[in-house]
């Protein structure tokens, strides 16, 4: 019976527990959900909108990089099939395009280095 004092202490603690409103217990969960939204979901949505705007402005002779690392020059854009034909006949989907390479980007990197 050396542990009987633990049972007595547990009963006393249970009796003294405050009975606050139930919604207060969920405040930490709401705060974590809001933090998750602002740190993870909102930036991803913003980045996806920028990528879609970039893909919507594709035109012939644009240099692109797709998610597989293939670099190519646009020969034509097929809106109906949602794909881009690169020079050499390679066809890639618009969803796989991650970057449109411009001539200004390398110049900025050289000046900064």
Residues 67 and 89 grouped into a single domain: yes
**What CA–CA distances, in Å, run from 51 to 33, 38, 65, 80?**
26, 19, 12, 19
Q: Does residue 69 form part of some domain? A: yes
Q: Tokens for 91?
A: 């066809």
Contact 74, 84 (CB under 8 A): yes
Do residues 105 and 66 share a domain? yes
Which one, of 63, 97, 72, lies nearest residue 83 by Cα?
A: 97
State pLDDT tens for residues 37-90. 999 999 999 999 998 898 889 999 999 999 999 999 999 999 888 899 999 999
Domain check: are 49 and 68 in the same one? no
State the residue range of the domain holding 38. 22-57
List the single range of 7-16, 72-81, 86-95 with lowest mean pLDDT.
Answer: 7-16
pLDDT for position 70: 93
The contacts of residue 95 (CB under 8 Å, 6+ apart) are 82
* Residue 20, SS3 per DSSP: coil
| Phi (first) and psi of residue 71, to 5 degrees | -105, 130
Q: Answer whether residue 8 is part of any domain.
A: no
The runs of H, that is alpha helices, within the chain are: 4-16, 27-36, 42-56, 104-112
Q: Are residues 109 and 75 part of one domain?
A: yes
Same domain for 63 and 113? yes
**Mean pLDDT for the chain overall:** 83
Domain co-membership, 91 together with 49: no
Shared domain for 47 and 74, answered yes or no, is: no
Our count of domains for the chain comes to 2
Same domain, 47 and 28: yes
Q: Is residue 12 part of a domain?
A: no
Q: Supply the pLDDT for residue 19.
A: 60
Residue 74 inside a domain? The answer is yes
């Amino acid at each position: 019976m050396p542990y009987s004092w633990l049972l007595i202490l547990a009963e006393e603690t249970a009796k003294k527990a405050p009975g606050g409103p139930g919604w207060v217990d969920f405040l930490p969960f709401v705060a974590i959900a809001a933090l998750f939204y602002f740190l993870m979901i909102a930036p991803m949505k913003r980045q996806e909108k920028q990528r879609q705007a970039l893909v919507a402005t594709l035109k012939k002779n644009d240099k692109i990089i797709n998610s597989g690392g293939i670099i190519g020059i646009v020969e034509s854009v097929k809106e109906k099939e949602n794909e881009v034909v690169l020079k050499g006949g390679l066809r890639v989907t618009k969803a796989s395009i991650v970057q449109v390479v411009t001539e200004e980007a390398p110049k900025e990197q050289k000046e900064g280095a």
